[in-house]
Homo-oligomer: A and B are copies of this chain.
């Protein structure tokens, strides 16, 4: 096995989730995550954690939607909820062998199921949770790389000095925490939001591995203006290109997309909270050198910002509730981020750099 898998596991168990004696550790994986899950299991056991691996092959998830009668999609998996409640640490490993496995599943079914299981997702967010990824052929293919090349890409983004990174991100957090208003200006874009009273969070390598973003939760009714995302959004393996959103009073009041607009529609119309911005993030991971059609990495690119529709994070002081939390990213070269009308980033370079 690649020794970097063990390093990845050690980072998660120590830096990201701080496993200690008596911790109940839940590890969730699909196709290609079992090696990483197994290493996390061992590292957690060393420290006195009780690890458990949940495995859901991606073809099983797809088949679930194929064979399950539609009314059964509302059945709540209470045992998974009880398991999650009893856990202290929850690590989710994105590891589908093929990122299009759910591409032909009716998106209404997917959002219906997301709504049913939202309580579990909410519960998970109260834990020391971590979302990470194993290199898989599908993610490599999306990134236009071989699997070996992609492994190098993934570990370059993950296995870095997070203590040093953290220091740099703290500077951006300070600027955000001191500001009331954020303005995003760029191609076909002029969007303002209030972040007054909200808390910017340094996403080093705790909840997301790789980390490399500073994010906050805009005030729910404050977004005004338009934004155009030059990079495609991905939902259940589908690319939604050229997303344009228009906000008024914090809600999406108009939208369009160049491809898969009906999928965008179903996302926005999931519930009341899915019309609002749950997250504004600014990417800081300069180790991620290219767009790979994978939000976990792309949102961390140093010259990009991202917005998520839907559920807000409590640690930002966010209150918006939704069954979804769906990110869209925008390159900021060219572009500007202004805090209280003062430019803090221009064309991907921070004012203090």
Contact = CB atoms under 8 A, between A and B. Distances in A.
Interface of A: 21-22, 24, 26, 29, 34, 37-38, 41-42, 45-46, 48, 50, 52-57, 59-60, 63-64, 67-69, 72, 75-83, 85-87
Oligomeric state, in copies: 2
18 contacts: A26-B79, A29-B55, A34-B57, A38-B57, A38-B60, A38-B63, A41-B64, A42-B60, A45-B64, A48-B72, A48-B75, A50-B77, A50-B79, A50-B80, A53-B55, A54-B54, A82-B83, A82-B85
A171 B198 CA distance: 74
Contacts of A37: 55
Given A29-B55, A45-B63, 16 more contacts: A21-B75, A22-B75, A26-B79, A34-B57, A38-B57, A38-B59, A38-B63, A42-B64, A45-B64, A46-B67, A46-B68, A48-B75, A50-B75, A52-B79, A53-B60, A82-B83
A81 B79 CA distance: 10
A19 to B, nearest CB: 12
B79 A83 contact: yes
A69 B47 CA distance: 8
Nearest to A72: B48
Contacts of A63: 38, 41-42, 45
A24 B54 contact: no
A22 B53 CA distance: 23
Contacts of A78: 24, 50, 86
A82 B86 contact: yes
A121 to B, nearest CB: 15
Contact of A55 (B55, B72, B83): B55
Contact of A83 (B46, B53, B56, B86): B86
A232 to B, nearest CB: 31
Contact of A24 (B34, B53, B79, B85): B79
Contacts of A24: 77-79
Contact of A52 (B54, B57, B72): B54
Nearest to A55: B55
Nearest to A35: B57
A86 B68 CA distance: 22
A21 B72 contact: yes
A57 B38 CA distance: 8
A186 to B, nearest CB: 44
Contacts of A45: 63-64, 67-68, 72
